[in-house]
Every structure is written in structure tokens, then in C-alpha cells.
Structure 1
């Protein structure tokens, strides 16, 4: 799995950081998403998918390996 984020579209809702704090954080000045781990371990894949699904601006892109 590979995660990419489109920060230019982020609205700073923080859902990703709440759902998957091991993978996402937010910049302090404007709340825009910060990707902490673009290649998460398998035990974080479900959290990554949930964060992507719940993101109101659809800025999280997940590409599956293979």
C-alpha cells in the first residue's frame, strides 16, 4: 500500500488524524494534513482506508501494491 495526500485540497477537518493518528497529523498553523507514513505496515491498512473514506475533501489517495 502507498498513501498520497493532495494537501492543496485539504480543508483541515482533522478526521484523518483522529481515525489514523499513526499515519496522519495536521499542521499547527492551518490544519492541513501531514502524511506521517506513506508506506504503512499491514496492521495500519484498515485505518488508512477508513481515513480516506471519511475525508470530506477526498484528499487521501491509496494505491494498493501489485
Structure 2
């Protein structure tokens, strides 16, 4: 699967593999959380905060995160 480009909240480009996305959730207006199928040291999913609404992010991921 191809990686999908987003801008994080620091305006840096990040690339997301849709197959590794657990869920997408709204954080605040025009900021969305993407949670990955990778755990941090505490056992919680690793997350990224990206620019755009949750609907926009889900659409860009091709529905892979809409679970």
C-alpha cells in the first residue's frame, strides 16, 4: 500500500501507511489524531496530530481508518 502524505501541527510532512492505522479521531478544529497499530513504551498506540478534519483525513486514507 502506498503512503499518504499529511502535514503535522508543526507543518512538517509525515507519511502514513493506511494499513497501520487503528483509528482516526477529531482532536480540535482542523486537527485530527491518527493512531497506529504500534505501541509506545506504555502500551498505548503511537499517535500523530495532523492538519485537517477527521472526515478529510479518513477520505485521504481511502476509508482504511473508518472502522
Normalised by the length of structure 1, the TM-score is 0.28
Report which of the two has the higher share of helix.
1
RCO higher in structure (CA 8 A, sep ≥6): 1
